[in-house]
Amino acid sequence: PAACRALGREGAAVVGARLTDLLDDGEGRLDALLSTCAREGAGSAEWAVRRGDGSTFVATVIASRYRDEEGVDCAMISLLDVTTRRRGEAAMAFLAEASAALGRSLDPRETVASLARLVVPARADLCVVDLVERDRLRRVEVVVADPALEPVAEALRGVMPGQEARE
């Protein structure tokens, strides 16, 4: 049942399925994995796995060699979804970069500008940073991910917080 849920397929479509129906194998990596399994008894690699609806997720594919009751060499394939692990690794890398950015300068404007450039495009398409300086709100940075949004960024740069946007 768990494999059926993960793969978005009915039981009959999972048990005995051809690996090429499940794994994106544009570079012939499957042959290499199975060769390693035959030679060394096991092998593994991260792979894009295709669900029944065509969407994909990343999994560690583990191939283990075994001999069935008739003495025929077979391979058992296990899939371990690593999406959550990858998200966690990306979050940790982002936090490490943010920490480094925070430590580079004592100038608040420079620090928030570097954080804005880090946030876009990793976490946002657009970032506007306003700081309170001498009891006034000041716009210090506007960053966009898509160059097509540059006119929007330019308009935002020209507007101080609390003002109406220019047409």
pTM: 0.59
Mean pLDDT value of segment 103-125? 90
- Encode pLDDT of 23-72 as tens digits: 877 677 888 898 999 899 999 999 888 888 989 899 999 999 999 999 99
What is the rounded distance in angstroms from the CA atom of residue 54 to the CA atom of residue 51?
5
Percent of the chain with pLDDT over 70: 95
